[in-house]
Each structure stands twice: as structure tokens, then as C-alpha cells.
Structure 1
Amino acid sequence: MITYLYWIGALALAVLSLYALGYRLKAWKGAAATSISILLVATLAYFFHFQQIFVKHWGGVMSVSVPEGQKHIAATWKDDHLWIENYDPKTNTCIFKEYARGATLEGKVLIKNCNPIKAN
């Protein structure tokens, strides 16, 4: 629900800028540029910041895939960051990875010679 409100707000701001700058002030180029900028900033902010916060605090849906050949062990939240633990049986390594959209500023911890109990 919060995601819908976010996008309705972003679209409302874009339409409001078109109305205020384009219709009222007759500055259609500036209105178009402002509306596009608002939508671009809203999209980037959602995918690179707000998505995990919305899912954790207000509910929502977020999909993360386990890499091929690995087994999922656990997932946990640290502040507003999702950390996922997988096991790679080929290298006998446990991998703690921070999930971030766009693969920006992701943390990663490798534990060598890891033998998790559930790695059957």
C-alpha cells in the first residue's frame, strides 16, 4: 500500500509541475523538464533507497534469487539493510551478502571451510 501512495505522490508532483509551469506560466519546456526530473529522481530514490525500507517497515514484496549452485541458509535485517546467507558446496564457503538494488555499496563476507548443519 505504501508503494502505491509513493507512486501516486510522485505522479501528482509531476502533473502539478506541468500544470503550474506549463499551463499557468506558459513555460512548457521547463514544465516538461521538471516533470521528467521529478519522475527520474523518484524512480532512482525508490529502487536505490526506499524499496527495502518500505518492505521492512510497512510491508510489501521484494524478490531476491539464490545464485545458481548455492543453497540458502538464512536472511536477516541489519538496520534497513537485508543480509542473506548462502552456502556454496563447491568451495565449502558460507557467503553473507548485503542485498542492494543496482549492486551499489553491497557488503560481502566469505567464511572459508564453512560446514553448515543444513548443507545436505
Structure 2
Amino acid sequence: MVTYLYWFIILALACGALFGIGARLGRWQLAVILAAVIAVVGAMTYYFWLQQIFVKRYGGVMSITIPQGLQHIGSTWKDDNLWIEDYNPETNECIFREYSRGDLLQGRVVLKNCNPLGASRSVSAPATNE
């Protein structure tokens, strides 16, 4: 909901610039430039700063695709960054990936010889015939 409100405000500002400066004052070149700047700054602000804040704090929506061949284990928030844990059964590795604001700084931690899906099986005692 808050995401829709944000984009409505950005669209209203861009249309207001077009109508207020372009239609009322007749300065269409300035109106188009200002509307484009509002749209670009609004999109960059959302993508590089607000997207994960909206999702974490205000119930926004975000989609992440797990790479093919990996099995999803869990996810958690650290500050405003989302950490995803996946398991690669082919290499027996657990992979933690960070989704930071704007995907600029993405951390990655790989745990070798990780088998979280039940590797510790108990060895049964041999049966005795009595």
C-alpha cells in the first residue's frame, strides 16, 4: 500500500510540473525536463533507498528468485538488508546472500561441507538374534 502511495505522489509531482509549468506558463521544454528529473530521482530513490525499508517496516512487496539448483533454507533481516540462505546439494555448500539497497553491496558467505538437510543420521546397532 505504501509503495502505491509513493508512486502516486511521484506521478502527481511529475504531472503537476507538466501542467503547472507547461500548460499554465507555456514553458513546455522546462516542464518536460522537470517532470523527467522528478521521475528519475523518484525511481532511483525508491530503488536505492526505499524499497527494502517499505517492505520491512510498512508491509511492501518484493520478489526474489532463488537460483536454479539451489534449495531455499531461510531468510532474515540485518538492519535494512535481507539475507537469504540457500543450499547447493551438488557442492554440499550453504550460501548466504545479501540483498542490500539497490543491490550495490552484496555480501556472500559460503559454508563448505554444509549439509543442513539431515546429514547427521544415527547409526543403528546391529540386530542380535536371541
TM-score, normalized by the shorter chain, greater than 0.5: yes
- Which stretch has the larger CA shift, 56-65 or 76-85? 56-65
- Which stretch has the larger CA shift, 34-43 or 79-88? 34-43
Determine if the alignment matches structure 1 residue 41 to structure 2 residue 41.
Answer: yes
Q: Distance in 2 between matches of 1:118 and 1:11?
A: 51
Instruction: Tell me, yes or no, if the aligned pair for 2:52 and 2:101 is still in contact at 8 Å.
Output: no
RMSD, matched Cα: 1.8
What do the CA deviations read for 1:54-97 (whole angstroms, capped 9, x no partner)? Answer: 11111122111111111111100011111000011111111110
Instruction: Tell me, yes or no, if the aligned pair for 2:85 and 2:94 is still in contact at 8 Å.
Output: yes
Determine if the alignment matches structure 1 residue 3 to structure 2 residue 9.
Answer: no
Instruction: Tell me, yes or no, if the aligned pair for 2:80 and 2:100 is still in contact at 8 Å.
Output: no
Q: What 5-or-longer segments of structure 1 have no aligned partner? A: none
1:43 Cα deviation from its structure 2 partner:
1.7
Between Structure 1 and Structure 2, how many residues are aligned?
A: 119
Instruction: From the CA coordinates, give the structure whose radius of gyration is larger.
Output: 2
Q: Distance in 2 between matches of 1:80 and 1:102?
A: 12
Kindly provide the amino acid, as one letter, of the partner of residue 22 in structure 1: G
1:64 corresponds to: 64
1:102 Cα deviation from its structure 2 partner:
5.8
The share of aligned pairs that are identical, in percent, is: 54
The alignment partner of 1:53 has SS state of: helix
Kindly provide the amino acid, as one letter, of the partner of residue 74 in structure 1: G
